[in-house]
Amino acid sequence: MRRVLASNLRGSAWQRITRHKALLVLLPSLALTGIFVYGFIGSSFFFSLTNWRTLAVDLSLREPLWQTYAEMLAMPRFQADLRNTVVFSVLFIALAISMGLVLAILLDRQFAGRSFFRSAFLFPYALSFIVTGVLWRWIFNPETGINLFFDLLGINKALAALGIGPLAPGWTTDPNVVLSVNQAIAAVWPRGASFQIEWGIPVALIPVAIAATWQLSGFVMAMYLGGLGGIAQSVRDAARIDGASEFRMYRSVIVPMLTPITISTAIILLHVSLKIFDLVFAMSGVGPGFATDMPSIFVFEMMFKAARYNLGAAASIVMLLASCIVVIPYLVHTFRSRE
């Protein structure tokens, strides 16, 4: 189809005019993006190379030029932030996508109450992170929160009968890092032994990922419901005629067809997880031993509490590079698949 259009528009003079027109239409957006995104980032990058570390603006370049970056990468706190971003993104995206997919599949049929459930699951998306952070901090309080239900429901009695201690997780107050890979790294890369932090899964990040999942899985569900609605009934009928069970049908026919939606959803969730700020700030702050600290909080505190503009700017540039690592392959993939 496109080829037909293209051939119709082949005349080179016409094409030039079109190109000019198209550019003209895009111009306001491109100009605004040029200023608000690239211009501002450029100035932040410049700040990161200066001596500006108090409220008094000091735009002299630092000697050596990359000193602020070197200093930052050596900070255990910043290393923990990088670890936390990776771990949180993986946990959160995996949880939110599986939760959203399951809910969408459950709601992928006609029954009374369907739209009620859909609205109820979508509702958390309407709330402000600032508030939900506080709510989840209350719920995950190890003494007065959700842990009380483990007693009420008799789970702890059952565990005691089995000779196991009570189920009383510390949630966001737990400073432990599990599944540490430090030794594995040290085995292949001797310098890795000098890491100042544990490379593993900070336990305190799990409740944060649960809270973020709670907030966004309804959105994921809506995305999948959209996708499921776009799958023709004939596909399902064909699968049923082949004698596939409901489960088999979803697993081997429907879910693979939803892959494009999964990719889009993952990208949107990733933009949330890389930048997440309000929720963590209100829920657990930097966490015990920086277990729930995030680069966005680091940037915020360094720039606006410590007035270390160069350090905050440097961290924001690293955040940006981190998103490039994911976004650029996505863009390449998108364009490839269109060719």
Partner 1 sequence: MALDLRGMRNVTLILAGVLLLAACQDSGSSSEINQVEVFSWWTSGSEAAALESVFESFRSQYPDVNVINASIAGGGGSAARPVLQTRLVGGNPPDTWQTHPGAEVMGQYVTPGFALSLHDLYIEEGWYQVFPSSLLSMVTEKGQPFLVILNLHRSNTLWYNLPLLADHNIEIGESLSYEELFDIAESLSAAGVTPFCMGDAGIWATGIMFENALAGVIGPERYLGLWDGTVSFTDADVRTAIETYGRLLNYLNTDHAALSWDQAVDKLIGGGCVFYSMGDWVYGELAQAGKRDNVDFGWVAAPGTEDTYLLVSDGFTLAQGGPNAEAARNMLRVMGQRKVQEDFNLLKGSICARTDCDQSRFGPYLQWAMESYSTDMLIPTVVHGSAAPADFQQALNDALTDFVVRRNVDAFANTLKREARASGFGK
Partner 2 sequence: MRVKRIILIIVLGLALLFYALPVYVMVVNGLKEATNVSMATMWVLPRQLTAGGFAEAWAMLAPNLRNSLIMVVPAALISSMIGAVNGYVFSKWRFRGSEILFALLLFGFFIPYQAILLPLVRFLQWIGLYGTLPGLVLTHVVYGISVTTLIFRNFYINMPNAIVEAATVDGAGLLQTFWRIMLPLSLPAFAVTLIFQFTNIWNDFLFGITVVPNPQAQPVTIALNNLSGSFSVDWNVVMSGAVVAALPTALVYIGLGRLFVRGLMSGAVKA
d(CA 239, CA 152): 45
Q: How far is the CB of 198 from partner 1 (least distance, A)?
A: 11
The site that binds partner 1 (CB under 8 A) totals a number of residues, namely 35
Q: How far is the CB of 307 from partner 1 (least distance, A)?
A: 5
Q: For residue 337, state whether it binds partner 2 (rule: CB under 8 A).
A: yes
d(CA 209, CA 247): 27
Nearest Cα residue to 48 out of 315, 339, 337, 322: 315
Q: How far is the CB of 22 from partner 1 (least distance, A)?
A: 24
195 binds, among partner 1, partner 2, none (CB under 5 to 8 A by kind): none
Residue 81's identity, in one-letter code, is: D
Asked if residue 173 lies in contact with residue 142, where contact means CB atoms within 8 angstroms, the answer is: yes
d(CA 224, CA 226): 5
Q: For residue 129, state whether it binds partner 1 (rule: CB under 8 A).
A: no
27 in helix, strand or coil? helix
| Positions in 140-169 near partner 1 (CB under 8 A) | 140-145
The binder of partner 2 chosen from 10, 13, 113, 189 (CB under 8 A): 113
Q: For residue 304, state whether it binds partner 1 (rule: CB under 8 A).
A: yes
| Positions in 307-336 near partner 1 (CB under 8 A) | 307-308
DSSP H helices in the chain: 2-8, 12-33, 40-48, 67-74, 76-106, 114-122, 129-139, 147-152, 155-161, 182-188, 205-229, 233-241, 246-249, 255-257, 259-275, 278-283, 295-304, 309-338
Which span sits near partner 1 by CB under 8 A: 103-111, 120-128, 295-303, 316-324?
295-303
d(CA 265, CA 263): 5
12 binds, among partner 1, partner 2, none (CB under 5 to 8 A by kind): none
Residue 195 half-sphere exposure toward CB, CA atoms < 13 A: 21
Q: For residue 162, state whether it binds partner 2 (rule: CB under 8 A).
A: no
Q: For residue 170, state whether it binds partner 2 (rule: CB under 8 A).
A: no
| Positions in 207-246 near partner 2 (CB under 8 A) | 214, 218, 222-223, 225-227, 229-230
Q: How far is the CB of 249 from partner 1 (least distance, A)?
A: 27
Q: For residue 47, state whether it binds partner 1 (rule: CB under 8 A).
A: no
Residue/partner pairs of 255-258 with CB below 8 Å, 24 or more apart: 255/101, 257/227, 257/231, 258/101, 258/224, 258/227, 258/228
Q: How far is the CB of 318 from partner 1 (least distance, A)?
A: 17
DSSP 159-223: HHHTT-------GGG---EES--HHHHHHH-GGGGG-SS--SEETTHHHHHHHHHHHHHHHHHHH
Which span sits near partner 2 by CB under 8 A: 120-128, 167-175, 180-188, 284-292?
120-128
CB-based burial of residue 144 (10 Å sphere; 0-12 exposed, 13-18 middle, 19+ buried)? exposed
| Positions in 25-54 near partner 2 (CB under 8 A) | 25-26, 28-30, 32-33, 35-41, 43-44, 47
Q: How far is the CB of 163 from partner 2 (least distance, A)?
A: 29
| Positions in 72-111 near partner 1 (CB under 8 A) | 76-77
Q: How far is the CB of 282 from partner 1 (least distance, A)?
A: 9
151 in helix, strand or coil? helix
Q: How far is the CB of 261 from partner 1 (least distance, A)?
A: 19
The binder of partner 2 chosen from 59, 65, 120, 168 (CB under 8 A): 120
Q: Which residues bind partner 1 (CB under 8 A)?
A: 53-57, 76-77, 137, 140-145, 170-173, 175, 284-290, 300-308
